[in-house]
Structure 1
Amino acid sequence: MAESEDQPLGFLVRRLMARLRPQATMALRPLGLGLPEFVCLRILDDDPGRTSAELARHTHVTAQAMNQVLQGLQDMGLVTRPATAPSGRALPAQLTRKGSALLKRAEAAVGEADDQLLAHLSHADRRELKRLLFQAGNPPADDAAACPPRGAVARGH
């Protein structure tokens, strides 16, 4: 236990992601999705109407890369954006029914990859790990207001 406590958090999270990424990628491949597409669908499911620029900031990719992801999702009929912007140039994106249905299948596939990766942990330990990671990434409202994450967008939930 002491060995893990001496490691920087970023190193531990990065190491876990290095193991999870290939498994999640393989799980998504039969569905015609990559990890960037999956993440984009998840964000739009949680917060419909995000623009390409907002999604790019949220996922730490370039605007051009996110535009390509969104265009691909649109071509697959998973996401819809208006032909013209309601104001300015921003085109808010929404999941289609097909996109929501595929997201459910993708979440199940990634869930199986998670389970394989964490098979050596008890069910209680897995729940605790997820709870702690969520709590670490979502500070209480007092803290969040004092120091919002870079590129944070106010959410109505």
Structure 2
Amino acid sequence: MPATERLGFHLKRAEQALNATKHAALKPAGLTVAQYAALLSLSESPGISAAALARACGVTPPTMNTVLKNLQERGLIERTPHEWHKNILETRLTEEGEAVMADADARAIRVERALADEFSEPEREALVALLGRCVDLLESVRPA
């Protein structure tokens, strides 16, 4: 089966194009796509653990630890021991992190809006539904 006839090929191309465009949009904010994803998740779930953050961002825990280390070195996040579970570090945005996140989010939203504007409302709804079906099917047939 040629690559151009495989849905996975087209999904991957779309993902790569989106990541490349977001990378270019986020560069002036000084963030990678992975760093932006972490800051976005942290803005929505302050105090989340690194393990939960890795799951939310779709990366491995070691990758997330590297992302968090870099963000912490830049002063964009702070990590403090959990009140009850001292082995768990809670991660939160700093004031500077909130400012960088706001700038980066505005840049990422421009990319998302440009993409959404390419489709009519019914097309967007259909695309979201079709992608949801892809996820549902792939999660149901994933080998153990």
Same-fold status (TM-score > 0.5): yes
Structure 2's unaligned 5+ residue stretches are: 137-144
Q: What is the aligned partner in structure 2 of residue 142 from structure 1?
A: none
Within the candidate set 44, 51, 54, 2:52 is matched to 54
User: How far apart, in 1, do the equivalents of 2:10 and 2:125 lie?
Assistant: 16
Give 1:119 shift: 4.9
The AA in structure 1 aligned to 2:71 is L
RMSD: 3.0
The AA in structure 2 aligned to 1:111 is I
Structure 1's unaligned 5+ residue stretches are: 1-5, 140-157
What is the number of residues matched between the two proteins? 132
8 Å Cα contact 1:118-1:126 kept in structure 2: no
8 Å Cα contact 1:19-1:117 kept in structure 2: no
TM-score (norm 1): 0.67
TM-score (norm 2): 0.72
Q: Which has the higher helix share?
A: 2
- Kindly provide the CA deviation profile for residues 102-144 of structure 1, in whole angstroms up to 9, marking residues without a partner as x: 111111111222344455334x35764686489779x9xxxxx
Q: What is the aligned partner in structure 2 of residue 98 from structure 1?
A: 96
Cα distance change, pair 62–93 in 1 and its aligned pair in 2 (3 A): same
How much identity, in percent, do the aligned residues show?
A: 31
| Higher relative contact order, chain-length normalized (CA < 8 Å, sep 6+) | 1
Q: Which has the higher strand share?
A: 2
Cα distance change, pair 104–20 in 1 and its aligned pair in 2 (3 A): same
Q: What is the aligned partner in structure 2 of residue 152 from structure 1?
A: none
